[in-house]
A and B are shown apart, each in its own frame.
Chain A
């Protein structure tokens, strides 16, 4: 029963090979086997959104997928957002608007917001709130996250 599979995950443009049991979730393999620990693990049952990553540019919960299912897929995580020293406009906006305190939920919020805005650049305020309701933050009360995403959306459109 302890069958293992060889898989290749393309994370932020780099191929990582791993030999995994099918029961290993994608987020565990991203963190433990590929060493990309920017993606966080919160509830492990799809409620908190801390593990949100982009898979073929769609935001998904990496705790609700098995790593074997992501074999050959293109994955983007928080580590791939900055270009060298230059932060992504969403990261800049989170700093400017104080949209994080402890920072645990931040990678998930960044990937969620960027993933949705790349598809739908002209979200209304109401739609931004709706999208952000996907993830949980226990520090900020969300208002500053909403402000940051609104500001970053304007920069991303420009």
Chain B
């Protein structure tokens, strides 16, 4: 074997190794971007109109976007940071509607700030979202815009028929949750639109709610979750809401399960029937660890448990 070609090959191989090392050492650092920090919604929307066509993106809490940038799965050329826009940090109840500004952090719901049944439900749900130091930074609206199938807030929006308020240079439009989600991490939000606010109804006093999710480790993305709400009048269930998240491409209400519950007597019989209806109607996603059947089983179990928790 001639020595020189072998040596050349060896040098090439060693070089390729060091290249690999160099690349992996850099990989956790985000790629370059231009940074914009508008002070008003008007300014933010103008920047989006200008930079969205040039790979510009909105940065809110960054608890999903920054990790994907660290892995360089996302390499936006421009980031429009909305954290300095004071008007987006407001959380208020107006005419029985809870208005959640785009910069309201998850942990805002870990308090008595939101009154009534809706406030109690959000307090119950928020502890399931990631971990404490993520909840101090991540935002409700950011989760909704990101539309991860396993997002708890997306499930809340679907269950309560929340409304996403989208603003762009072309105007403002209001999109109901049922029309907002289009698929896995896909929404009807246009590139130049900013999700400025999410609206949730203040549920009537006496409404019972239940939320339960399953994940293998505390703080992980849920494999499946169920959220239910209903009232009882004259011993019968009225205005039932059953929503599932994590199981399908996006969270949604399950009309067949709700139909079982409407005007039924609350209890094991109706709860099991409703859970079975939800399981039969769902179209589960699959991943490496969880088959569609497994998720379908979780839907049945979790819907039943959520209904029991609400009772």
Report the minimum CB–CB distance from A10 to chain B (whole Å).
17
The verdict on A65 contacting chain B, using a C-beta distance below 8 Å, is yes
Chain B: interface residue count, which band? 20 to 34
- Total A-B Cβ pairs within 8 A: 87
| A130 interface neighbour in B83, B127, B136, Cβ under 8 Å | B127
Report the minimum CB–CB distance from A16 to chain B (whole Å).
19
The verdict on A2 contacting chain B, using a C-beta distance below 8 Å, is yes
| B35 interface neighbour in A3, A64, A65, A130, Cβ under 8 Å | A3
Give complex CA distance A58, B107 in Å.
10
Given contacts A58-B136, A130-B127, contact A64 B66 (CB under 8 A): yes
The verdict on A89 contacting chain B, using a C-beta distance below 8 Å, is no
Contact B67 A46 (CB under 8 A): yes
A3 to chain B: closest residue by CB: B34
Given contacts A44-B70, A130-B127, contact A22 B33 (CB under 8 A): yes
Interface residues of A in 30-80 (CB under 8 A from B): 44-46, 49, 52, 58-61, 63-66, 68-69
Report the minimum CB–CB distance from A117 to chain B (whole Å).
11
The residue among B69, B70, B81, B107 with the most chain A CB atoms within 10 A of its own CB is B70
Give complex CA distance A2, B32 in Å.
7
The residue among A21, A61, A112, A131 with the most chain B CB atoms within 10 A of its own CB is A61
Given contacts A22-B33, A45-B70, contact A65 B131 (CB under 8 A): no
Query: What are 5 inter-chain pairs, A to B, with CB distance below 8 A?
Result: A1-B34, A25-B29, A25-B70, A52-B133, A63-B70
Q: Give the A interface residue count (CB, 8 A).
A: 32
Given contacts A46-B66, A65-B62, A130-B127, contact A1 B32 (CB under 8 A): yes
The verdict on A18 contacting chain B, using a C-beta distance below 8 Å, is no
0/1 per residue, B120-155, Cβ < 8 Å to A?
000000010001111011000000000000000000
Given contacts A64-B62, A69-B81, contact A23 B133 (CB under 8 A): no
Contact B33 A61 (CB under 8 A): no
Residues of B within 8 A of A2 (CB): 32
Residues of A within 8 A of B37 (CB): 68
